Structure 1
Amino acid sequence: MSKRLKIGIVVLGLALLPMGCMVGPKYSRPEEQKAERYQNTEIPIDTAKSVVNLKWFDVFDDDVLEGLINKGIENNYDLKIAMARLERARAELGYSKADLLPSFSYGGTINANKDAFIPSNVGVNMNWELDFWGKVRHENKALNAELLATDEARKVILTGIISNIAVSYFQLRDLDNQLDITKKTLIARQESFNIINERFIKGYTSEVDKVQIEQQVAIAEAGIPRIERQITFLENVISVLIGQVPGPIERGKSNNDQRITVDIPLSLPSKLLENRPDIREAELRYMAANERIGVAQAMRYPSFNIAAMAGFANSELSDLFLNSSYLQNASAGVVGPIFNFGKNKRRVEIFRQEAEQSKLFYQKAYLIAVSEVEQSLKDVKTYKEEWQARNKQVMAARKNLELSNARYYNGYVSYLEVLDVQRNLYEAELELSRLTQQQLSATVDLYRALGGGWN
């Protein structure tokens, strides 16, 4: 058997070494403190349905709001940044996969002096580090998990953009309503001032009544620029969310006319593990960290290399490409650590602790998700109950103002009583407006907490 054939057999044998000798831990999903049911609902849970299958555009009944959300999906810069991160993660995975294959290079040297130490030469080289212990495969699995986690992170950002646009829009429409209430209150108080001032001039009422109503007119006047300032702030917030230069935001339905068009289906708390992109992202990050333990362990073992070259070399440049100048060679090598004062062992421990942190973060993410659903369920229920009570208060306050005005103009009570009733009505109407917005926002928060199908 020729020497060249023996080298070829050795090279082939090394190349065909079993690729399944992967060191490192096997992945298993961590245990969670699973909740059997939600505490803050009496709604029966239908495990056949999932909010993840309910698309956001089926939830809202406002074309303007849907248009703003579509602009956000198309133009939001946070989402564009997330897409760039996703493409980078995809490129990193492709870059790492190439390490499983041999690398090829070429080179050449031309020397005019035939007595030079290195003769003129040209050739092709091949180098291949065999992934015997699974170092590259572990890294590829880690990068693949990170790629998927990055995509889940993109979904988290997408969820946040849509829900933030919806909540900010409801807050904006609430401020519009508060502005309308304040302007109507100002008109009513100015009319009262005109009447009381006329009565004061004629001597039918005291200056105290006149000063008190002047004060209430000023309070209503001061409320208008404050609300207008808040409106501009929210318009700027929405403009940034939809990726456009700050400016006026188009309005659609008022909050009083808004309707959540569907009942949001509840699933078992364990379904959050499938629905919530942030939980899936946390698990994938843990999977990646677990794989890198294997990378660190593989670095403690020797690595195997195969090298080959073919080309021409000759001290005479004119004879470089003659058959007699042709040469080729193949080789195999091994290199490994001997003693590094515990660095290799500590490297494994570092990655093991990083994986432990990722696991704990995943378990915490699940608890946070369940608590957010519990809070959202409670918010939806209690805001509805609070709104109903506050609406009764507004109805009663309006009737009370009507009666108090009549009592005052007939001389039965002082104007102080009327002012007190006016203040109560104004505050109750503003609070009712806020509760209307909070009901809508709570429903959006519930949909988001359940891992709604924003995609």
Structure 2
Amino acid sequence: MKNLKILSALFLMAVFPYGCMVGPKYVKPEQPQADTFRYGDQSQDTTKSVRMIKWSTIFNDPVLIGLIEKGLQNNFDLKIAISRLEQARANLGIAKADLYPSLQYSGQVNSAETIMQPSSLLANMSWELDFWGKYRHQNKAFLNDLLASDEARKVVLSDIVSNIAISYFELRDFDNQLEITIHTLETRQKAYDIINERFISGYVAELDKVQIEQQVAIAEANIPALKRQITALENSISILIGQVPQPIERGKTNSELLILTTFPTSVPSALLENRPDVKSTELLYRAANERIGVAQALRYPSFNIAAIAGFTSVMVGDLFNDASYTQNVGAGIAGPIFNFGKNKRRVDVNRQIAQERKLNFQKTYLTAISEVENSLQNVAMYKEEWAARNRQVIAAQKNYELSNARYYNGYVSYLEVLDAQRSLFEAQLSLSQLTQKQLTSMVQLYKALGGGWN
């Protein structure tokens, strides 16, 4: 009966603490709110979410989709993020184990029959009661770390998809620029051959010959530079998809590529739910807030329960006799008295860590809104700029044809033809770059809105 009373008291001690927790409760920080994005479509249905649009549906190039899928399988940054996620999962398991009793066993056999070192076979249990919530706070902290690691994995995944797509657009842009340059070189080389023959025949001055010769050399010099950039991009994409640097397969040109032109922009507050980087920083703040409770609990006494049961005997042969059986249950308390403010400073440190995480969360949220605003404006402005550049290319082509005809009919010097040709070349390169930037801006908008990268 006495043992039953002791066990009942210990049970009440074990259950009662779960109503006692020191430490602050989590309060979500207030964020500056706006009803709409500054450059967003005010007429869109804000109840729709960009998360419903999967990344694989926004591209119409099977080669690009294949590269991205290969990157998701082989990319080392993603593998590192998954490894960190598993580390966080294991840490959570360790934290959960601290909530429960610890059971051990021990045994020894001694040939010397002495009271000081008897033979024994014992099982013992020790349990620190979570009276102040130290282990519960710690458990919640590791849980939030785990969730933050999963959101960080999504950030890496988002970066992989967008980086491969953007690098691919840049690669196709350089391919197009190389094609434009080679065509320009061929045109200038033909013009050089004609003018050189006319110079030899005495129909034109040497000035015309050296001017076109200079333009031929300029086009020739651009080709190696473009080839270097193409190789560098191919190597970058190879690293992104986790393979040895090698030539990258090509699919559609940038002019043939199509990307969804509109995404539901919703409202700024939706970024808290859509963006994995925003969610990750908030979860890290929650984890830091829980660790304040852990630090505060260390300032209070700890309560322990211990139990032991088994056999012990001076003589090995009598080890398992009834008389050798022993058991005991006990409880203890331990706590700090004076340690020169160490525990208080530990709480202060954790408060400041939580404050840092809070500020980082707020900054990340504002940065996310800024990125969406920039992306929305880029999409609109690149569209307008592309239309103007396209008209410029058409006009420059016509100007070059007319100037060429005027020169061969003797109305103008070759300097006018060179100027028209240079303007056409630069306009074509600018249009190629703008086509790439248009595609890139749509991917960046999709990423900024927190699109469905899962």
Greater alpha carbon shift after TM alignment, 175-184 vs 69-78:
69-78
- Distance in 1 (CA, whole Å) between partners of 2:57 and 2:183 is 35
Indicate conservation of the 8 Å contact 1:134/1:295, yes or no.
yes
What residue in structure 1 maps to residue 399 of structure 2?
A: 400
2-structure distance, mates of 1:124, 1:15: 20
SS at match of 1:19: helix
Show the 5 A alignment for 1:250-399. Answer: 250-261=249-260, 263-399=262-398
CA contact (8 A) 1:313 1:320 kept: yes
Is the 1:307–1:330 Cα contact (8 Å) retained in structure 2?
yes
Q: Does residue 13 of structure 1 match 2:23? A: no
Which residue pairs with 2:193 in the alignment? 194
1:310 counterpart SS class: strand
Task: Provide the C-alpha distance between the structure 2 equivalents of 1:287 and 1:15, rounded to a whole number of angstroms.
Answer: 27
In structure 2, the partner of 1:90 is: 89
User: What SS does the aligned partner of 2:56 have?
Assistant: helix
> Are the equivalent residues in 2 in contact too, given 1:59–1:262 (CA < 8 A)?
no
Inter-partner Cα distance in structure 1 for 2:260 and 2:379: 15
Q: How does 1:65-84 map to 2 (within 5 A)?
A: 65-84=64-83
Paired with 1:326 and 1:375, the residues of 2 have a C-alpha distance of: 77
CA distance in 2, matches of 1:16, 1:35: 47
1: CA distance, partners of 2:109 / 2:180:
89
What's the RMSD between the two structures over aligned residues? 1.1
**Equivalent residue number for residue 52 of structure 2:** 53
**Is contact 1:65-1:169 (8 Å) kept?**
yes
Give the distance between the partners of 1:236 and 1:341, measured in 2 at CA: 58
% identical equivalent positions: 63
- Corresponding residue of 2:151: 152
Post-superposition CA distance 1:385-434 (Å, at most 9, x none): 11111111111111111111111112221111111111111111001000
Q: TM-score, normalised by structure 2?
A: 0.98
Q: In structure 2, what residue type is equivalent to 1:382?
A: M
The runs of 4+ residues in structure 1 deviating greater than 4 Å are none
Cα distance in 2, alignment partners of residues 335 and 123 from structure 1: 25
**By how many angstroms is 1:12 displaced?**
2.5
SS in 2 for 1:101: coil
**Quick check: 193-202 or 259-268, which moved more?**
259-268
CA contact (8 A) 1:61 1:261 kept: no
CA positional deviation for 1:92: 0.8
**1:430 aligns to what?**
429
What's the TM-score once normalised by structure 1's chain length?
0.98
The farther-off stretch of 402-411 and 281-290 is: 402-411
Residues in 2 aligned to 1:262 and 1:436: alpha-carbon distance in whole angstroms: 13
- Looking at structure 1, the residues matched to 12 and 407 of structure 2 have their Cα atoms a distance apart, in angstroms, of 106
| Distance (Å, rounded) in 1 between the aligned partners of 2:102 and 2:252 | 63
Shift of 1:43: 4.3
- CA gap of 1:265–1:16, structure 2 versus 1, over 3 A, is closer
Residue 120 of structure 1: how far off its partner (Å):
1.4
**Equivalents in 1 of 2:422, 2:115: separation in Å?**
102
* Total equivalences in the alignment: 454
CA distance in 1, matches of 2:163, 2:207: 48
How far off its partner does 1:240 sit?
0.8
Q: Is the 8 A contact 2:54 2:452 kept in 1?
A: yes
Residue 280 of structure 2: SS of its match in structure 1? helix
- The residue matched to 1:246 in structure 2 has which SS? coil
Question: Per-residue deviation at 1:116?
Answer: 5.0
* CA distance, structure 1, for counterparts of residue 145 and residue 85 of structure 2: 9
Q: In the TM superposition, what whole-angstrom CA distance separates every residue of 1:40-96 from its partner, at most 9, and x where no partner exists?
A: 234423122111111111111111111111111111111111111111111110111
In structure 2, C-alpha distance between the alignment counterparts of 1:229 and 1:372, rounded to whole Å: 31
In 1, the alpha carbon distance for the partners of 2:342 and 2:87 equals 31
Tell me, in whole angstroms, the C-alpha distance in 2 between the residues paired with 1:140 and 1:265.
38
Matches within 5 A, 1:55-204: 55-115=54-114, 117-204=116-203
Report the CA distance between 1:243 and its aligned residue. 1.0
Shift of 1:6: 4.1
User: Which residue type is aligned with residue 325 of structure 1?
Assistant: S
Q: What per-residue deviation string (whole Å, max 9, x for no partner) do you get for residues 362-403 of structure 1?
A: 110110000000100111111111111111111111111111
187-196 or 243-252, larger mean C-alpha shift:
243-252
Cα drift, residue 168 of structure 1: 0.5
Q: Does the residue aligned with 2:307 lie in a helix, a strand or coil?
A: strand
Deviations 1:118-165 (A, max 9, x none): 211111010011101100000000000110000000000000000001
Tell me, in whole angstroms, the C-alpha distance in 1 between the residues paired with 2:413 and 2:171: 38
Instruction: Please say which of residues 40-49 and 295-304 is displaced more in the overlay.
Output: 40-49
Separation in 2, partners of 1:425, 1:20: 78
Aligned to 1:240: 239
**Within the alignment, does 1:441 sit opposite 2:440 as a pair?**
yes
Q: Return the offset for 1:115.
A: 2.7
Shift of 1:311: 1.1
Q: Distance in 2 between matches of 1:45 and 1:418?
A: 50
User: What secondary structure does 1:157 align onto?
Assistant: helix
CA distance in 1, matches of 2:261, 2:248: 26
Give me the whole-angstrom Cα distance separating, in 2, the residues matched to 1:330 and 1:178.
Answer: 82
Letter in 1 for 2:349: I
SS of structure 2 residue aligned to 1:16: helix
Who is 2:416 aligned against?
A: 417
SS of residue matched to 1:373: helix
In the alignment, the residues of structure 2 paired with residue 227 and residue 330 of structure 1 have an alpha-carbon distance, to the nearest angstrom, of 80
| Code of the aligned partner of 2:346 | R
Q: Which position in structure 1 is the counterpart of 2:224?
A: 225
CA contact (8 A) 2:36 2:268 kept: yes
Cα drift, residue 18 of structure 1? 3.7
- Contact 1:293-1:351 at 8 Å conserved across structures: yes
